[in-house]
């Protein structure tokens, strides 16, 4: 179990979920800054953490610079896959805040999470979300966190696989829930609602801090 000071931040502790994530984040390389503001990450995490059981197998689909990884790690997963095509998608992630280089983003993941990678807790996967999910057995994941391009077609393809790949006790979670049909990220909401209406997902929450949490009805 991870517990103690790491890079000037307290992680772990008496309660496995109890972390002082309001402490300063780890020092970032000089070239860069995280893509998501730390306060927003904390809010997002507070919303979803009841669904991330300790010792779970999880995957973050869409990682970029890894601004959310420490939060996900604080749920003490036994395995955390970080899935993003990075440089296979494009030299730059066009929605990036600050430095958009996908090579730099991947480099940051390897550098910042080297201890967890070496211990086998984190596995970075330079893959598209569907390519990655297809490679895993059915009923494998305790949770899958979707934060890729939020397009309707992409989310449909991700959900089609995720409903099979997550355990019956597991959760499909995601970011950037937007009810407004004119919003750039509305595709996620539209696809999830369609799965819900078809009886293939049951929604536990939707919209709070722009997160959604669902269970697969396949299990
Ligand atoms: C919004 S960023 C992710 C931010 C990250 N989850 C965070 O909280 O800081 C979106 C990422 O999704 C990745 N992405 C885009 N299409 C993808 C796909 N089909 N599969 C996996 N990742 C994808 C992009 O390369 C980009 O790095």
Number of domains in the chain: 1
Whether 182 is in a domain gets the answer: yes
Residue nearest to atom 11 of ligand 1 (CA): 62
Tell me: the pLDDT tens digits for 120-146?
999 999 999 999 999 999 999 999 999
83: CA distance to ligand 1 center in Å? 8
The whole-number average pLDDT for the span 64-86 is 97
Tell me: the pLDDT tens digits for 11-62?
433 333 344 454 434 544 444 555 566 688 999 999 999 999 999 999 999 9
Whether 171 is in a domain gets the answer: yes
pLDDT band at residue 209 under the 50/70/90 scheme = very high
Query: Domain range spanning residue 115?
Result: 38-216
103: CA distance to ligand 1 center in Å? 13
**42 C-beta closer than 6 A to ligand 1:** no
Whether 138 is in a domain gets the answer: yes
Whether 206 is in a domain gets the answer: yes
CATH number of 179's domain: 3.40.50.150
Whether 10 is in a domain gets the answer: no
The mean predicted confidence, pLDDT, of the chain is: 87
Whether 92 is in a domain gets the answer: yes
* pTM above threshold 0.85: yes
DSSP 18: -
| Confidence at residue 39, expressed as pLDDT on a 0 to 100 scale | 83
DSSP 92: B
**85 C-beta closer than 6 A to ligand 1:** yes
Q: Which among 57, 25, 52, 51 is positioned nearest to 38, based on CA atoms?
A: 25
**154 C-beta closer than 6 A to ligand 1:** yes
Whether 13 is in a domain gets the answer: no
| Confidence at residue 32, expressed as pLDDT on a 0 to 100 scale | 54
The percentage of residues in the chain with a pLDDT greater than 90, rounded to a whole number, is 78
Q: Which among 162, 114, 116 is positioned nearest to 142, based on CA atoms?
A: 162
Tell me: the pLDDT tens digits for 89-113?
999 998 888 899 999 999 999 999 9
Whether 90 is in a domain gets the answer: yes
Whether the Cβ atoms of residue 147 and residue 176 lie closer than 8 Å to each other: yes
Pocket probe for ligand 1: among 148, 158, 178, 184, the residue whose CB has the most ligand atoms within 8 Å is 148
SS (H, E, C) 54-66: CCCEEEEECCCCC
| Cα–Cα distance, 157 to 131 (Å, whole number) | 10
């Amino acid at each position: 179990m991870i517990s103690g000071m790491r890079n000037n931040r307290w992680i772990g502790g008496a309660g496995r979920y109890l972390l002082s994530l309001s402490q300063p984040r780890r020092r970032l390389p000089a070239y860069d800054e995280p893509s998501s503001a730390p306060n927003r990450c904390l809010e997002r995490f507070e919303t979803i953490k009841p669904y991330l059981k300790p010792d779970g197998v999880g995957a973050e689909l869409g990682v970029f610079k890894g601004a959310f990884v420490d939060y996900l790690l604080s749920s003490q997963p036994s395995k955390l896959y970080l899935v993003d095509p990075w440089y296979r998608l494009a030299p730059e992630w066009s929605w990036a805040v600050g430095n958009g280089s996908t090579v730099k983003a991947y480099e940051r993941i390897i550098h910042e999470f080297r201890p967890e990678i070496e211990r086998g807790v984190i596995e970075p996967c330079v893959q598209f979300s569907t390519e990655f999910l297809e490679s895993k057995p059915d009923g494998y994941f305790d949770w899958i966190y979707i934060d890729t391009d939020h397009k309707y077609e992409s989310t449909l393809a991700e959900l089609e696989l995720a409903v099979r790949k997550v355990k019956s006790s597991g959760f499909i979670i995601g970011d950037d829930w937007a009810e407004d049909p004119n919003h750039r990220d509305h595709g996620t909401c539209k696809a999830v609602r369609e799965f819900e209406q078809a009886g293939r997902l049951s929604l536990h929450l939707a919209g709070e801090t722009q997160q959604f949490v669902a269970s697969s009805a396949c299990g």
